[in-house]
Chains A and B, each alone.
Chain A
């Protein structure tokens, strides 16, 4: 069965610093992989998705993620954090016949001025 692990329930960075949010998945077959973001009091929005076309995926708001099959990882990065990036980030994997997504437990990102 697929599972998604996000390392670190809370990550704090300074404004302008690198953002790195970690995600590992377990699957015998590379799945579809997603990063979603949840701003306070809102639903989730898609940041980016991997569908095997390219291992480096660029998303909205300057975020990108790299699929590494050998490490079963799909870490999310942004070169320079902005205060508006403060939110909770969820990694998700899918790909079964129904395409149900398995979500990680989320990482709350705080950005200090």
Chain B
């Protein structure tokens, strides 16, 4: 089954404790992206990747890092989480062309205390 898998589904952590949210897709997609969803703000893009070893900032990249060492994986790293990073995070992927649909993971609800 074609899917984007995010882990963990829920995460509670404390300020400053480094964490990684994993994202994996099994569709051989070139494009992958991370979004955060906050009430009243919709989805905002954090980082995206056009292919292996090619990453770029989205609209709200501060406080986040990503890597794309393999085509299927695109982890999101919070080196020193802060409470304003409490949010619902989604990973998504699609084939290379810009009008292809995005496949979304089920989301990771992060709470930073």
A and B form one complex: yes
Could you tell me how many residues of chain B have their Cβ less than 8 Å away from some Cβ of chain A? 25
Against B, the Cβ 8 Å flags (1 = close, 0 = not) of A20-50 are 0000000000001010100001111110010
CB-defined contacts of A44 to chain B, threshold 8 Å: 43, 90, 92, 102, 104
B42–A94 touching, CB < 8 Å: no
Residue total for A at the interface (Cβ-Cβ under 8 A) = 24
- A76-113 near B? 1/0 per residue, CB < 8 Å: 00000000000000100011101111011110000000
Would B42 and A103 count as touching, CB distance under 8 A? yes
Instruction: Select one of A34, A42, A43, A104 contacting B101, CB under 8 A.
Output: A34
B106 at the interface (CB under 8 A from A): yes
Q: Report how many A-B pairs have Cβ atoms within 8 Å.
A: 58
* Residues of the B chain whose Cβ atoms lie less than 8 Å from the Cβ of A106: 42-43
Check if A98 sits within 8 Å of B42, measured CB to CB.
no
The listed residue (A43, A96, A105) touching B42 by CB distance below 8 A is A105
What is B's interface to A at a CB cutoff of 8 Å?
Answer: 4, 31, 33, 35, 40-45, 48, 50, 56, 58, 90, 92, 97-99, 101-102, 104-107
The 8 closest A-B CB pairs, nearest first, are A99-B98, A43-B104, A105-B42, A46-B101, A103-B43, A32-B99, A44-B104, A51-B99
Query: Residues of A with Cβ closer than 8 Å to B?
Result: 9, 32, 34, 36, 41-46, 49, 51, 90, 94-96, 98-101, 103-106
